[in-house]
């Protein structure tokens, strides 16, 4: 029968422990963290994601601004129509939708929030009386008449 010494039992696990942690112990405490290549790789990945996502989001913002302008033009048009129903004529200006003038049947204000809305690009809507009606217009993103981005009723 083989006799086992006390030292042999304890030395064997210590050796395996030392060999399994030797790769961890080889790093000094000052070298913990990410390498420059790892950081650069993460920055490049974030840049690629931003290059793909940002153009898609900016297109959606433009579409939502156009939709908001169309909704505002329609809401102002409804207010003008309601004014015309109550008073028998179209208002001389959009301000007439908010404040009572000499009209006998004025039941306004006809716009919610008591103010004339501003288009999504920060410009005022243009209201023009025509021979057989009216026109409400937003000049769109360029803020100038024409250019193909105007929104009208």
- Every domain of the chain and the residues it spans: 46-152
For the chain, how many helices (H) and strands (E)? 2, 3
Closest to 119 (Cα-Cα) out of 59, 60, 71: 71
Mean pLDDT of the region 69-91: 92
Q: What is the CATH number of domain 46-152?
A: 3.30.700.10
> How much of the chain, in percent, has pLDDT values that exceed 70?
78
Residue 25, pLDDT > 70, answer no
Mean pLDDT of the region 74-79: 92
Backbone angles phi, psi at 129, to 5 degrees: -80, 135
pLDDT band at 27 (very low <50, low <70, confident <90, very high): low
Residue 10, pLDDT > 60, answer no
What does each C-alpha distance from 120 to 15, 37, 70, 93, 117 come to in angstroms?
73, 44, 10, 21, 9
pLDDT band at 153 (very low <50, low <70, confident <90, very high): confident
pTM metric for this prediction:
0.62
For residue 134, the surrounding DSSP H or E stretch is strand 133-138
Residue 139, pLDDT > 70, answer yes
* CB of 138 closer than 8 Å to CB of 69: yes
Residue 71, pLDDT > 80, answer yes
The full DSSP string for 54-100 is: HHHHHHHHHHHHHHHHHHHHHHHHHHHHHHHHHHSS--SSGGGGTS-
Bond preceding residue 109 cis, omega within 30 of 0: yes
Q: Please report the pLDDT score of residue 123 as a whole number.
A: 92
Whole-number average pLDDT of the chain: 80
Question: How far, in Å, CA of 42 to CA of 52, rounded?
Answer: 16
Q: Please report the pLDDT score of residue 87 as a whole number.
A: 92
């Amino acid at each position: 029968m083989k006799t086992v010494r006390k030292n042999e039992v304890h030395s064997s696990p210590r050796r395996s422990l030392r060999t399994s942690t030797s790769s961890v112990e080889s790093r000094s405490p000052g070298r913990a963290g990410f390498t420059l290549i790892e950081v650069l790789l993460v920055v490049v990945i974030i840049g690629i994601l931003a290059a793909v996502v940002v153009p898609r989001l900016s297109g959606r913002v433009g579409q939502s601004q156009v939709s908001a302008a169309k909704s505002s033009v329609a809401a102002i048009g409804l207010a003008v129509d309601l004014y015309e129903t109550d008073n028998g004529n179209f208002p001389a200006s959009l301000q007439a939708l908010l404040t009572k003038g000499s009209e006998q049947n004025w039941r306004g204000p006809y716009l919610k929030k008591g103010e004339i809305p501003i288009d999504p690009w920060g410009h005022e809507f243009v209201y023009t009386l025509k021979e057989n009606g009216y026109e409400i217009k937003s000049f769109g993103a360029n803020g100038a008449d024409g250019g193909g981005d105007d929104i009208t009723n």
